Structure 1
Amino acid sequence: MTHAVQTPARDNVFLRISAHLAERTDIASALEAVADEIAEVIPFTHADLCLKDRPGWLSSYEVGIQTRWSRTSTRVEASPIRDLITGKCDFMLCHDAMQDPRQTYRGACSEPILNHQMRSRVHVLMKVMGQPIGTLNISHSTVGLYDLDTVRRAQHVADVLSPYFHALHIAEQAKRATQVRQEAQAREEGLRRDALLLTQTLEQERQRIGMDLHDQTLADLTRLLREITADATPPSQAQMEHRIKEVIGDLRRIIDTAVPTLLDLFGFVHAIRAHLERAIASQPIAVTVTDATEGAADRLDPTVRTALYRIAQEAINNAARHSGADHIEVRIEPLPPSGLVLEIRDDGRGLPADLNRMSGIAHMRTRARLISADLDLLGDGGSTVRVTLGERS
Structure 2
Amino acid sequence: MDKALQANAKGDVFLRISTHLAERTDIASALEAVADEIAEVIPFSHADLCLYDRPGWMASYEVGIQTRWSRARTRVDRSPIRDLITGKCDFMLCSDAMQDPRQTFAGACSEPIFNHGLRSRVHVLMKVMGQSIGTLNISHETPGLYTLETVQRARNIADVLSPYFHAMHTAEQAQRATQVGQEAQKREEGLRRGALELTQTLEQERQRIGMDLHDQTLADLTRLLREVTGDAPLDRAALAQGVSDTIGNLRQIIDTAVPTLLELFGFAHAVRVHLERAVGIAPVRIDVTDDTGGAPDRLDPTTRTALFRIAQEAINNAAYHSGARTIKVMIEPVAQYGLVMTISDDGRGIPASLHRSSGLSHMRTRARLISAELDILNDYGCRVRVMLESRT
**Aligned partners of 1:85 and 1:134 also within 8 Å:** yes
Give the corresponding residue for 2:355.
339
Q: Pick one of 319, 324, 337 that aligns with 2:251.
A: 324
- Indicate the structure (1 or 2) with the bigger Cα radius of gyration: 1
Deviation at 1:117, TM superposition (A): 0.3
Deviation at 1:182, TM superposition (A): 1.3
TM-aligned CA distance change 1:324 to 1:30, over 3 Å: same
Give the corresponding residue for 2:108.
108
Q: Pick one of 185, 197, 201 that aligns with 1:272.
A: 201
Other structure's SS at 1:53 match: strand
Give the corresponding residue for 1:80.
80
Give the corresponding residue for 1:90.
90
How far apart, CA to CA, are the structure 1 residues paired with 2:5 and 2:184? 52
TM-aligned CA distance change 1:69 to 1:316, over 3 Å: farther
TM-aligned CA distance change 1:341 to 1:158, over 3 Å: closer
* Cα deviation digits, residues 224-278 of structure 1 (max 9, x gap): xxxxxxxxxxxxxxxxxxxxxxxxxxxxxxxxxxxxxxxx9964422333566xx
Other structure's SS at 1:270 match: helix
Give the corresponding residue for 1:49.
49
Other structure's SS at 2:125 match: strand
**Aligned partners of 1:118 and 1:141 also within 8 Å:** yes
Residues 102-181 of structure 1: matches in 2 within 5 Å? 102-181=102-181
Other structure's SS at 1:24 match: coil
TM-score normalized with structure 2 length: 0.54
**Aligned partners of 1:275 and 1:313 also within 8 Å:** no
* Cα deviation digits, residues 302-360 of structure 1 (max 9, x gap): xxxxxxxx5576459889994314732674968874532889xxxxxxxxxxxxxxxxx
TM-aligned CA distance change 1:114 to 1:317, over 3 Å: farther
TM-aligned CA distance change 1:312 to 1:136, over 3 Å: farther
* Structure 2 unaligned residues grouped into runs of 5+: 218-246, 257-308, 318-349, 360-392
Give the corresponding residue for 2:36.
36
**Aligned partners of 1:119 and 1:142 also within 8 Å:** yes
Deviation at 1:86, TM superposition (A): 0.5
Residue 271 of structure 1 aligns to which amino acid in structure 2? Q
* Structure 1 unaligned residues grouped into runs of 5+: 195-263, 280-309, 344-393
* Cα deviation digits, residues 86-135 of structure 1 (max 9, x gap): 00001000010000000011110000000000000000000011010000
Deviates more, 1:30-39 or 1:331-340: 331-340
How far apart, CA to CA, are the structure 2 residues paired with 1:135 and 1:265? 40
Give the corresponding residue for 2:240.
none
Residues 1-393 of structure 1: matches in 2 within 5 Å? 7-188=7-188, 267-273=196-202, 314=211, 322-325=249-252, 327-328=255-256, 331=313, 337=353, 339-340=355-356
TM-aligned CA distance change 1:317 to 1:112, over 3 Å: farther
Residue 255 of structure 2 aligns to which amino acid in structure 1? H
Residue 104 of structure 1 aligns to which amino acid in structure 2? T
Deviates more, 1:264-273 or 1:71-80: 264-273
TM-score normalized with structure 1 length: 0.54
**Aligned partners of 1:272 and 1:313 also within 8 Å:** no
How far apart, CA to CA, are the structure 2 residues paired with 1:151 and 1:67? 23
Give the corresponding residue for 1:384.
none
* Cα deviation digits, residues 185-240 of structure 1 (max 9, x gap): 3444788xx7xxxxxxxxxxxxxxxxxxxxxxxxxxxxxxxxxxxxxxxxxxxxxx
Identity of aligned residues (%): 65
Other structure's SS at 1:136 match: strand
How far apart, CA to CA, are the structure 1 residues paired with 2:355 and 2:96? 47
Deviation at 1:173, TM superposition (A): 1.2
**Aligned partners of 1:335 and 1:341 also within 8 Å:** no
